[in-house]
Structure 1
Amino acid sequence: MTPNPVCSIDCVHAQAVETARQGMLPDQEVARLAELFKVLADPTRVRLLRALFPGELCVCDLAALLEMTPSAVSHQLRVLRTSRLVRFRKQGKVVFYSLDDDHVRGLIAEGLDHVRHG
């Protein structure tokens, strides 16, 4: 593996640094965004989100699709729900999950485009 290239002289481009500084996010937003990516770093959670693209599915549907126990699926859905990536509705004794909003679909779609691009 080749090492990362590094400047061989010490030079700071003040205008470029200032422009970048103006675009920096507040620490709280950085932390929330990092937490979101941490949640998305789990392959099972990505599969669950992608499974919900066509529409809502109940926990049992998701368990059958991913070949997991309903308990294991529920645990992952709780993490996704806490991060506001999915929402649920109850119909009698059945709990249906769906993507929280179109931002979630766009986030996964953009990530997939990036992965497929290179």
Structure 2
Amino acid sequence: MHDSLPDFRMPTEEQVHLAAESLRLLADPTRMKILWALLQGESSVACLADLVGAAPAAVSQHLAKLRLAGLVRGRREGTFVYYSAADVHVRRLLEEALFHADHTDRDLPDHPDRPGHPQHAGHPGHPGHAGHPGHAAHAQLAADA
């Protein structure tokens, strides 16, 4: 027992394994673009392929992996399958990954994460970060989608 961490509890092995698998699947730029597009609304493989600039077969393979991990859902309508993000957790995962990426370069003189910067108090989900305006990473993914 660590005296400095009296309430410390390690996640279970299963929780750690499942979280690591989800993060591993998110570690692909095309999959991140697919998920970003799906966070905007339901879409077909053909539409997603056009949005992310990839071949439909490649998008279909990415979607199969994301679906197995529980990050996306598919809904069949006739011969088409329409995909959507599985739940709000997917949005939070992607937004946090983008937020983190946008805040890794803190040596920029006007970076919003610097205390005293007018946009420092901005990102939803973090104390002192309520409503962070568009980050470069968010804008880039949106532009690419």
2: distance between equivalents of 1:20 and 1:32?
A: 26
Q: What's the TM-score once normalised by structure 2's chain length? A: 0.66
Q: Deviations over 1:71-118 (max 9, x none)?
A: 111100000000100001111111110000111111111221222223
Q: What's the TM-score once normalised by structure 1's chain length? A: 0.79
Secondary structure of the corresponding residue to residue 15 of structure 1: coil
Q: Which runs of 5+ in 2 are unaligned?
A: 105-145
Secondary structure of the corresponding residue to residue 53 of structure 1: helix
Q: Which amino acid aligns with 2:42?
A: E
2: distance between equivalents of 1:94 and 1:39?
A: 24
Number of residue pairs the alignment of both structures matches: 104
Q: Which runs of 5+ in 1 are unaligned?
A: 1-13
Provide the aligned C-alpha RMSD in A.
Answer: 1.8
Q: Which one has a larger percent helix, Structure 1 or Structure 2?
A: 1
- Which of 33, 37, 53 is 2:23 aligned to? 37
2: distance between equivalents of 1:29 and 1:71?
A: 31
Alignment of structure 1 residues 1-118 onto 2, 5 Å: 14-16=2-4, 19=5, 22-118=8-104
Task: Kindly state the Cα deviation for residue 66 of structure 1 after the two structures are TM-superposed.
Answer: 1.8
Secondary structure of the corresponding residue to residue 84 of structure 2: strand
